[in-house]
């Protein structure tokens, strides 16, 4: 099962990156999705981002620096705690995120053609249930 999940995720991620590059984001890399997708609209602390990604703070910070250098993110001091850093989307980052969402919806439409509407709906429902039961602390809303 793990191999199937990795294979499907890797394929979706590569396809999404390829199609995002084809839409004008030539520097978009598959590794960006794991970061960009976990940043809340108002920004996310680096420690929270690291937990969501399942990596160390150092690894999250390194990835953030790469993406920040391209202008998709900015890292600023948390106004509530000057020691903490918040990563947030720049206007360019919001545009690339919207493009990635559009691309992902297209990929899901293709998967619906393969699985059928009921099949895709059932797959999403089962994966949601599995994720929530296997890792209840992993919900995106967790701070």
Residues 6+ apart with CB under 8 A from 1: none
**What pLDDT is recorded for position 141?**
44
Using CA atoms in the order 87, 13, 19, 30, what is the torsion angle rounded to 10 degrees? Answer: 50
Q: Tell me the domains of the chain and their CATH numbers.
A: 2-138 (1.10.10.10)
Average pLDDT over residues 13-36: 92
**What pLDDT is recorded for position 81?**
86
**What pLDDT is recorded for position 83?**
85
User: pLDDT confidence of 143, banded at 50, 70, 90?
Assistant: very low
State the chain's mean pLDDT as an integer.
91
Q: pLDDT tens across 78-130, in order?
A: 888 888 899 999 999 999 989 999 999 999 999 999 999 999 999 999 999 99
Average pLDDT over residues 29-57: 90
C-beta neighbour count of 118 within 10 angstroms:
9
* Residue percentage of the chain with pLDDT more than 70: 95
More confident residue, 68 or 134: 68
Partnered with residue 44 across adjacent β-strands are: 87
**What pLDDT is recorded for position 135?**
76
Q: What is the pTM of this model?
A: 0.79
pLDDT for residue 137 is more than 70: no
Nearest CA to 4 out of 133, 130, 97 is that of 130
């Amino acid at each position: 099962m793990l191999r199937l999940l990795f294979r499907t995720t890797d394929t979706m991620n590569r396809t999404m990156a390829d199609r995002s590059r084809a839409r004008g984001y030539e520097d978009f890399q598959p590794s960006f999705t794991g970061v960009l997708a976990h940043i809340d609209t108002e920004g996310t602390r680096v420690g929270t981002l690291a937990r969501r990604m399942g990596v160390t703070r150092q690894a999250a910070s390194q990835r953030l620096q790469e993406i920040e250098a391209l202008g998709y993110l900015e890292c600023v001091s948390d106004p509530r705690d000057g020691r903490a850093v918040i990563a947030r989307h720049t206007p360019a980052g919001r545009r690339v995120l919207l493009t990635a969402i559009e691309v992902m919806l297209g990929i899901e439409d293709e998967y619906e053609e393969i699985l059928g509407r009921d099949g895709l709906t059932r797959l999403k429902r089962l994966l949601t249930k599995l994720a929530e039961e296997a890792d209840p602390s992993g919900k995106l809303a967790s701070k």
